[in-house]
Chain A
């Protein structure tokens, strides 16, 4: 049974149509990667799922319940948490406080257990628990953003560009942690420009281009496909034709 079901989603910014009829499904315990270049609509899709944007039409169902018009805070309470693009940790709060804040929607008593879980996933955060988030490195901030989202104990974790601006070695560490997190039973929907990393982690992938899904399939298949090779993985273009068109 699918955990997340999106049908013909259309989202506008004023006159500009950012998503032009997106349909996708995410099953329980799956890791799904959404690939695409800048401006493809990846972040728009994330923000619409999490309730920060209202779609013009189309529906979003989570665990069989329509959440299309729910406010962002309600959606968090239903079990969808996100690590937003650009991390957006609270720089003037400590690591620990940022994490506690992630449990905003939950009873105080339940937070300790999640805190232990996050610290075990990201030992680095345990080391730096008393440090102000603003003084962390980019990679540590990304870990904190993911950890903070996990504090809401989500069934679906949305990750918006976790590799953004990070050194390859850090990205690898973060993706290793993501795999571990997914093994605990959290379903992951990941938006990435780093197609190779994302597809290595994911079960399935969707390729987004100017608001439309142009390609979908098993991650391994996508990784091997010539379109992906040329468009995202720096492979040779044989025909010189425009990408994925």
Chain B
């Protein structure tokens, strides 16, 4: 792992910025994160099936929340329709697998590309909208998506019942059918996404996003093509959500419009804001609070949104930067 970290720290010293390099103890933090991820691999050995599926759901929603964070936390664009991209990925996999008989793994590139494409197409005209206007426009997109799926668009989305009996993935001839196997798949993909997010932070593109968020006018006068960067941020965020959609379709083996409604987008939005914008541990913490904590206090599960609602109010008043904020913006 050390060898992988080296080029990163080099790039920090050569052309990085303090927004990033001020993350003191970065290496230590990474080791802890890597260690937690490895520990996570043992979940199937230590817990029963119910908990394995909860961990799998955490991994999947963790990816979606991180992808929302690219658009909302890093680029600073109010995307309140993110469940839509998640849904597109899930539907692409479901349709290709069930209707056309494609293997699950073959559907992944298409799930990513279609979501990313829709994200970019949608972003291009919306990008000039500011804050709240963009928010309303993305809600509109989410509503249209759900409506289209409910009305059995093109006769292939299955209406409000959705698409059932989605197959299981095969890998090197092995069927990933057990709860444990599916969890491992989700967990590995989460790991890959975490590495991608880390690289994004250190990349020129990642830095450009931070400059743009901090002062769009100043960035533009320095030669940042804000339209291009923002559209790309939307495409990457949507594409990653699409990838998570595939995992979701496999995990639940059913996709239906109700999984991708507006309130799901609100939840993702809230996870990022409450957890900490632009902060990987913050977003994962937010995801855990939303998807794992309710399982521990199962008797109170019906109060999930009530508790989370109060938590949101409390966090916004007491800790507007989020529970676990991006280190760089503290100073």
User: Residues of B contacting A50 with CB < 8 Å?
Assistant: 221
User: What distance in Å separates the Cβ of B211 from its nearest Cβ neighbour in chain A?
Assistant: 7
What does the 1/0 interface line of B210-230 toward A look like (CB < 8 Å)? Answer: 010011011011111111000
Name B222's contact: one of A92, A101, A108 (CB within 8 Å).
A101
Instruction: Indicate whether A105 reaches chain B with its CB closer than 8 angstroms.
Output: yes
A92 touches B221 (CB 8 A): no
Number of A-B contacts (CB under 8 A): 64
B329 touches A84 (CB 8 A): no
| Closest B residue by C-beta to A134 | B331
Interface residues of B in 222-279 (CB under 8 A from A): 222-227
User: What distance in Å separates the Cβ of A108 from its nearest Cβ neighbour in chain B?
Assistant: 7
If A90-B211, A92-B328 touch, does A102 touch B222 (CB 8 Å cutoff)? yes
Instruction: Indicate whether B17 reaches chain A with its CB closer than 8 angstroms.
Output: yes
User: What distance in Å separates the Cβ of B84 from its nearest Cβ neighbour in chain A?
Assistant: 29
Stretch of A18-26, A73-81, A163-171, A213-221 with 4 or more beta carbons under 8 angstroms from chain B: A73-81
User: What distance in Å separates the Cβ of A66 from its nearest Cβ neighbour in chain B?
Assistant: 19
B222 touches A148 (CB 8 A): yes
User: Residues of B contacting A73 with CB < 8 Å?
Assistant: 220, 223-226
Instruction: Indicate whether A52 reaches chain B with its CB closer than 8 angstroms.
Output: yes
A93 touches B19 (CB 8 A): yes
A90 touches B215 (CB 8 A): yes
B15 touches A76 (CB 8 A): no
> How many of chain A's residues have a CB under 8 angstroms from any CB in B?
27
Instruction: Indicate whether B9 reaches chain A with its CB closer than 8 angstroms.
Output: no
> How many of chain B's residues have a CB under 8 angstroms from any CB in A?
20
| Closest B residue by C-beta to A72 | B220
If A92-B331, A93-B17, A97-B18 touch, does A152 touch B223 (CB 8 Å cutoff)? yes
A104 touches B224 (CB 8 A): yes
| Closest A residue by C-beta to B19 | A92
Question: What is the CA–CA distance of A14 and B15 in the complex, to the nearest angstrom?
Answer: 41
Question: What is the CA–CA distance of A104 and B211 in the complex, to the nearest angstrom?
Answer: 11
Instruction: Indicate whether A42 reaches chain B with its CB closer than 8 angstroms.
Output: no
Question: What is the CA–CA distance of A217 and B328 in the complex, to the nearest angstrom?
Answer: 50
A52 touches B221 (CB 8 A): yes
Name A92's contact: one of B15, B18, B220 (CB within 8 Å).
B18
Question: What is the CA–CA distance of A82 and B217 in the complex, to the nearest angstrom?
Answer: 11
Question: What is the CA–CA distance of A50 and B223 in the complex, to the nearest angstrom?
Answer: 10
If A92-B214, A101-B211 touch, does A84 touch B221 (CB 8 Å cutoff)? yes
Instruction: Indicate whether A100 reaches chain B with its CB closer than 8 angstroms.
Output: yes
Instruction: Indicate whether A9 reaches chain B with its CB closer than 8 angstroms.
Output: no
B225 touches A88 (CB 8 A): no
User: Residues of A contacting B215 with CB < 8 Å?
Assistant: 88, 90
A81 touches B221 (CB 8 A): yes
What does the 1/0 interface line of A178-217 toward B look like (CB < 8 Å)? Answer: 0000000000000000000000000000000000000000
User: Residues of A contacting B17 with CB < 8 Å?
Assistant: 93-94, 97, 101
User: Residues of A contacting B328 with CB < 8 Å?
Assistant: 92
Instruction: Indicate whether A89 reaches chain B with its CB closer than 8 angstroms.
Output: yes
Instruction: Indicate whether A39 reaches chain B with its CB closer than 8 angstroms.
Output: no
Question: What is the CA–CA distance of A201 and B241 in the complex, to the nearest angstrom?
Answer: 56
User: Residues of A contacting B15 with CB < 8 Å?
Assistant: 100, 108
13 other contacts beyond A90-B218, A152-B223, with CB at 8 A cut-off? A52-B221, A71-B225, A73-B220, A77-B223, A90-B215, A92-B18, A92-B19, A94-B18, A97-B18, A100-B15, A101-B211, A104-B223, A148-B222
Cβ contacts A to B, 27 pairs, < 8 Å: A52-B217, A52-B220, A72-B223, A72-B226, A73-B226, A76-B223, A77-B223, A81-B221, A81-B222, A84-B217, A84-B218, A84-B221, A88-B215, A88-B218, A88-B221, A89-B218, A90-B218, A92-B19, A92-B331, A93-B17, A94-B17, A97-B17, A97-B18, A101-B17, A104-B222, A132-B18, A148-B222
